[in-house]
A and B are shown apart, each in its own frame.
Chain A
Amino acid sequence: MTNDSILDPAALQNLLTSIGGDRAFLRELIDTYLADSPAQFAALRAARTQDDAEAFRRAAHSLKSNSANMGALELARQCQELEARGKAGILENAEPKIIAAELEFEKVRRALKTE
C-alpha cells in the first residue's frame, strides 16, 4: 500500500487551505487527532463488549469524522462501516472489523508523523 492510499494528499491540502495555510496549526490538529483516537478505539471496544450499540455508533462516528478530516479516507471508510453496524444495532462479528481499523490507524499514525 502506498502512502497516498493511507493519507489522501488532496484532502490534507484542503484542510491546510481551510485553516488559512497555517502549518503549525495543522501539526496541532494532527497531534490532537493522534492523541484522541486511541481513546475512541477503547470506547469502541468497551461498547462492543457491553453490547451498547449507541455508544458503539458514537465512537465509530467520531473516528470516521476525525479521520476524514485528516485525509485518512480508507480508515474513515472502515469506521463508516462500523458506524452503520452500530446504527443497525448489529455488533456481532464486529471484532475483525475493529482489528482491521486499528491496524489501519497504525498506518495512518506513521504516515501523519512524517507530515
Chain B
Amino acid sequence: MTANSHPGNILVVDDEQLNRMILTRALEAQGHRVSSVENGLRALDILREDPAAFDVVLLDMLMPELDGMQTLAELKRDARLKHLPVIIVSALDEMDSVVRCIEMGAEDYLPKPFKPVLLRARLDASLEKKRLRDQEQKYLRGLERELEIGREIQRSFLPADLPRVAGWELAAKFQPARQVAGDFYDAFEMQNGARLAVVIGDVADKGVGAALFMALFRSLLRAFAEHSAAPLSEVVSFANDYIARTHDRANMFATIFFAALDPHTGDLEYINAGHNPPLIVRDARVRAQLTRTGAAVGMFQGVTFRVETTRLERGDILLAYTDGVTDAPNARGKDFSDERLLALAQARYATASAMLTAIGAALHQHTEGAEPFDDVTMLAVRRE
C-alpha cells in the first residue's frame, strides 16, 4: 500500500479484538493514525474529551454497553460531534440497521469482512468531506469576525447620544436585521445651534453594500449640514448629486427624511425624499403626515427637492420610521401595516421614548417566531 497523501486520525469502535487488530493495521497500512476502543461508551468518552482529535469514526453495529446505533444517536445529538463523519462497519446481513444509521446521519458504510480498496475509497471520501467542512467552518468564522467588526464600525456611524435641547425630547430605536444595516438616523445641531437637524434614512438593498452606502449618505449629509449655513434643499441636493455622479454604476439610493427644527419656535423645515411619511401626533390624534417632497436621494443627478414647513406645538410628537416597521411580517407573512402603526401612534404617551417603547413591544410581539426581515428604525421628537 502506498502512503496516503491525506492521512487522517481515525477512531475504530468495535467490541471484537480481532476486528480492531485488522482494521487498525489496515488503516495504518494506508497511512492513517488509528486509535481503537471496544464499545460506544468508551468512544463517546474519548471523543467528548477532545472533539477535534478525530477526523472519521469507524463504528461497529452490535456491541455491548452502547451499540452502534445508540452511539451514533449520541454523536448526532452532540453539537460538537454531530458533523464528525461516521462510517458504519457491518456484516451484509445487518443491512436494515445500516439503512437506519444512514438515515440517522451516518456518512457511509463498509461491509465486513472489508476489501482494502473499499476501505480506502470510503475513508478518502469521508476525509475529503471532513476537510472541506473544516475549511468552510474556518472561512465562515473569519467572515463572521469581519462582519462583527463591520457592525461595530457601523454602530459608530449612528449617534452615541442624542443632543439635549431645552424644551425638547429626542428618542430613537434601531435594530438591524443583519449584522450590518442600511438604515440610519441622526440628530445634530446646525447653524451654530440655531437649528436642530433630525434625519432618518433607508438605503436600498441590504447587507454589506447597503451598509457602506449608509455610511456615505450619513457622512455627506452631516458634514455638509454641520459646517455650512446652506439651506436644506442644498444639503440634500449636494448628497444626491455626489452619489448620482460619483457612484452612478452602483445604482444605490436612499429614502431620506431630513428636517431642520427651530427649537425656539417649533418651526420645522423638511424634505421627504421618497421616505415613509413621518407623523405629527397631537392629543393622541395624527394631525399631519409629512408626505414626500422629492425623489429618493442618489437616483438622478440634478433633481430638486422641495422644502416644506410645519410647526410642532407643545406636546406634539414627530414620529419618523423606516419601512422595516410597517412591512415587518409575522410568522404567517402578514405585515405589521401602516394602520397598526397609526393606531399605536394615536394613544397618549407622556414621552417620545414611551411611544417608541410601546410600538417596539407591539412589533416584537407581531414578529415573534419570524425571520428578521429588514432593519427597524424609529426616531421621535417631542416638544415639551
Contact = CB atoms under 8 A, between A and B. Distances in A.
A binds B: yes
A51 B38 CA distance: 26
Given A58-B64, A61-B62, A65-B91, A18 B114 contact: yes
Nearest to B89: A65
B91 A68 contact: yes
Contact of A15 (B1, B17, B64, B113): B113
Given A62-B16, A65-B91, A20 B25 contact: yes
6 contacts: A18-B22, A18-B25, A18-B119, A19-B25, A36-B17, A66-B16
A48 to B, nearest CB: 18
Contact of A65 (B16, B21, B25): B16
Interface string A27-62: 011001100100000000000000000000110011
A64 B91 CA distance: 9
B62 to A, nearest CB: 5
Contacts, number: 61
B112 interface: yes
Contact of B22 (A11, A19, A61): A19
Contacts of B116: 14, 17-18
A36 B19 CA distance: 12
A76 to B, nearest CB: 9
A15 B22 contact: yes
Nearest to B60: A65
B21 A29 contact: yes
Given A58-B62, A62-B16, A80 B93 contact: yes
Interface residues of A, number: 24
A69 B62 contact: no
Nearest to A17: B116
A19 B327 CA distance: 66
Contacts of B177: none
B29 interface: yes
Contacts of A66: 16, 18-19
B344 interface: no
B46 interface: no
A58 B70 CA distance: 17
Contact of A20 (B15, B18, B26, B91): B26
B25 A22 contact: yes
B77 interface: no
Contacts of A68: 91, 112-113
A69 B25 contact: no
A14 B116 CA distance: 8
B249 interface: no
B331 to A, nearest CB: 47
A28 B25 CA distance: 12
B115 interface: yes
Contacts of A32: 17-18, 21
A17 B119 CA distance: 12
A65 B29 contact: no
A65 to B, nearest CB: 6
Nearest to A80: B93
Could you say which of B1, B17, B113, B119 has the most chain A C-beta atoms within 10 Å of its C-beta?
B113
A20 B1 contact: yes
Contacts of B115: 14, 18
B26 A19 contact: yes
A69 B89 CA distance: 13
B298 to A, nearest CB: 68
Nearest to A32: B18
Interface string B1-42: 100000000000001111101100110110000000000000
A11 B119 CA distance: 15
B119 A65 contact: no
A20 to B, nearest CB: 3
Given A18-B116, A29-B21, 8 more contacts: A11-B113, A15-B113, A18-B26, A20-B29, A36-B18, A66-B16, A66-B19, A69-B112
A12 to B, nearest CB: 10
Interface string A59-93: 00110111011000000000010000000000000
